[in-house]
Chain A
Amino acid sequence: MVDPITALIFAGLSAAVLVVLFLPKKGIAARLRRSKLDSKRVLIEDALKHIYDCEYNKSHSSINSVAGNLNISTDAAAKLISRLEEMGLVVSETSSINLTAEGRSYALRVIRIHRVWEKYLSEETGVSEMDWHDEAEIKEHTLTIDEANDIAKRLNNPLFDPHGDPIPSSTGQLPKKIGIPISDLKTGEFAHIIHLEDEPNSIYAQILAMGLYPGMQVRMISASNERVVFEANSEEKVLTPLFAQNISVQPTAETAKVYEDFKLLSSLNKGEEASVLGISKACRGKQRRRLMDLGFVPGTKISTLMKSIGGDPIAFQLRGTTIALRKSQADLIFIK
């Protein structure tokens, strides 16, 4: 018979070993899976992406910017650039590094895979918003362009990734950059958020925490050098100019759909009636299709019937049926 203390210690140790092996992200198994990535290929592709980004944003890329973006030393970046030149992907000049036609199409393929995968994660899986970018950063180096094209086809050839970035077409076309930083809006002007920059992660996380998403309607209240104040979802949001740089908007002066005085479905009290204005863009994929199938479309009359014992879920009556939704979903439906 084994001594109980020995047995317990042994069991504790085996449990610890299992944790070290299989902890998500930091465990040995997860590290092994990541280390299988071809690190040379990753560097090449990330450098091309960066140089393309600079070209798209009309700024200049240099050995220093490559080193900074890829988090490598300047020496390593210089070596990497000369390797890219040998491969015929870039041409290095004194003031900047320029892509060759071949380099540009390679960069666009990588970007297409990245953005298609983000779109896939947002539409077809339950992976949380914070993880889309990181997962796509890995997937862009392992998925082939054919696999990405197949996924895009299944998703009905999406045009934009969930951050609002356009997805390069399979032939490598990309529209010109549109949109302005949110701080450039005039006071009282309506606009739609078209893009949230997902890098760096810390700023992106705070933008997400404020409940902002591409497609959201905003109205400028005031912008100064210290702070940018705007209205979104009938709430006042305040940003520092640094954060505001990461949010691009398109003014909606001409488009007809300006929602004024809207409320969220979750704020509708028991017994009150309203009509649906629309479903927020933050509600995606299966959940969005389900809500539309159930009749949550503009113009539908809706009333709150009863609340569950803890106040969540809430039962609504629409089109002669009773549907219960959780509060987090009712927050994504606009009513008037």
Chain B
Amino acid sequence: MNKNETINSSSREAIIASANSMRWEVGEDFHDTLMESIYSDAAEIAAKTVTKTDEKQIYHWDQKIDRIVTSKLLGFPIMFLLLALVFWLTVEGANVPSAFLASILIDTIHPILKSASAGIGVPWWIDGVLIDGAYLAMAWVISVMLPPMAIFFPLFTLLEDFGYLPRVAFNMDNLFRRAGAHGKQALTMSMGFGCNAAGVIATRIIDSPRERIIAIITNNFSLCNGRWPTQILIASIFIGAVVPSHLAGLVSAGAVVAIALFGIFLSLVVSWGLSKSVLKGEVSAFSLELPPYRPPRILQTLYTSLIDRTIFVLWRAIVFAVPAGIVIWLVGNIYIGDLSIGEHFINWSNPFGLLLGLNGVILLAYIIAIPANEIVIPTILMLTVMSAGMVGVGEGSGVMFELDSAADTAKILEAGGWTLLTGINLMLFSLLHNPCSTTIYTIYKETKSAKWTLISTLLPVAMGFALTFLVAQIWYLFAA
């Protein structure tokens, strides 16, 4: 027994030693060789057993389409036209259902709930927290978010299903490569124009770790669906007002487009900076498959884009909006001394806000409306009315509201001390601030990393502070 063991262990060692020395001779190429032999075996088996029908015809069509959509002459125009069409359909198509949902959820059900709770004698603060706070925030998010997403996502998915989107990535890769990013980032960026949370999820199509994190961090520079209305409203009130009225529409629309383009520019610049600094150690591997074209499966696309993207994102937004609604109401209704805690914060942060060409109301609104950019303007209006002590407008302390006419909104904001500078800087800050909490949560879910989540959250807000500060100080310098 004992003797056996010694023989075994000594021979085992000898075997291991000889294996070790043989490894040096074999070298490291055997992994490659193994892979090659698997492929050649598979090819041999396939050649024996698989019969091919004539695929020439299909290839022929594919190549014809490819030649057009990637051509020097037509490649970019087709891409811009298609994307513009998608955005136009989204914006135009969403107006009616959004108004319809708002009239039901906010103008009809909200008063009914209020009178019902008054009827059964619910205490005012429970009624306030639940109906004016939680319910209203949820109603707002649904009515503003649902229609555009329900139009945008299916349209986008149809283009994807048809096989066109990989060609966009193919066309755009040259530009994005120079920024240290992946061509597919053009797609996740476009998706971000619909919703940043959905854009972040869409980065799953980027299979290179470094480029994927770049796409996640920079997605917030795509002006999302929740920020377009803010941009349009503020541009028409403040930018449109400084030019002759017949140009107002054109100039304010131009200002919004300029902000969106500035966002794209920043996302390229930041991509480049990230790939050269914090991300330079991450693995990068490029390949882009161009799948064959096929007729889109319309019903399946509708179903998956509604369930996987729209409802999924909407649900996450609601989950975050409800507590925020409660916080918003409480901020306007908990008093310390004579003032609500909201007013305390506004007074305290106002000097800092002015340094950035903003004000305390805007800063507070961006903090408490973090779940969704959609409720920033209603929150700003509520807080302005509250802190300026206006009578006769709004729905009361802590109750968000919006006005139908831009002129009336302008009156409230001007009474709150807003100037052209406030308008411009709000537009800049709306582009450059932390992502909404739905997106932050999604980033964490996708990266599983506190570090990248923190960077994606703080980088844009730091850039926003820096930029608005510079604009404001230079403005003050020349205005003085």
Contact = CB atoms under 8 A, between A and B. Distances in A.
B204 interface: no
A125 B288 contact: no
B281 A127 contact: yes
Contacts of A8: 470, 473-474, 477
Contacts of A156: 31
Contacts of A286: 208-209, 283, 285
B21 A173 contact: yes
B45 interface: no
B143 interface: no
Nearest to B62: A322
A321 interface: yes
Contact of A127 (B27, B207, B280, B285): B280
Nearest to B36: A297
A291 B207 CA distance: 13
Nearest to A316: B290
Contact of B75 (A126, A285, A309, A313): A309
Interface stretch (A69-77, A86-94, A323-331): A323-331
A124 B287 contact: no
Contacts of B63: 305-306
A159 B24 contact: yes
Contacts of A321: 289, 291
B21 A326 contact: no
A171 B209 CA distance: 35
B27 A126 contact: no
A289 B93 CA distance: 46
Nearest to B16: A171
A164 B476 CA distance: 62
Interface string A300-322: 10000110111111010000111
B132 interface: no
B265 interface: no
Majority secondary structure of chain B interface residues (helix, strand, loop or mixed): helix
Contacts of A312: 173-174, 177
A243 interface: no
A329 B174 contact: no
A80 B248 CA distance: 79
B183 A299 contact: no
B52 to A, nearest CB: 9
B354 interface: yes
Given A4-B480, A7-B355, A294 B287 contact: yes
A279 B33 CA distance: 12
Given A2-B355, A8-B473, A175-B24, A323 B290 contact: yes
B35 A126 contact: no
Given A2-B355, A308-B170, A125 B290 contact: no
Interface string B19-48: 011011001100110011001100100000
Given A290-B285, A325-B286, A309 B76 contact: yes
Nearest to B169: A324
B72 interface: yes
B114 to A, nearest CB: 43
B281 A298 contact: no
13 contacts: A5-B477, A126-B283, A159-B27, A173-B21, A175-B21, A286-B285, A287-B286, A306-B63, A309-B174, A310-B174, A322-B290, A323-B288, A323-B290
Given A125-B282, A127-B281, A312-B174, 4 more contacts: A126-B283, A309-B72, A325-B286, A326-B177
Interface of A: 1-2, 4-5, 7-8, 11, 24, 124-128, 156, 158-160, 166, 169, 171, 173, 175, 278-279, 285-287, 290-292, 294-295, 297-300, 305-306, 308-313, 315, 320-326, 329
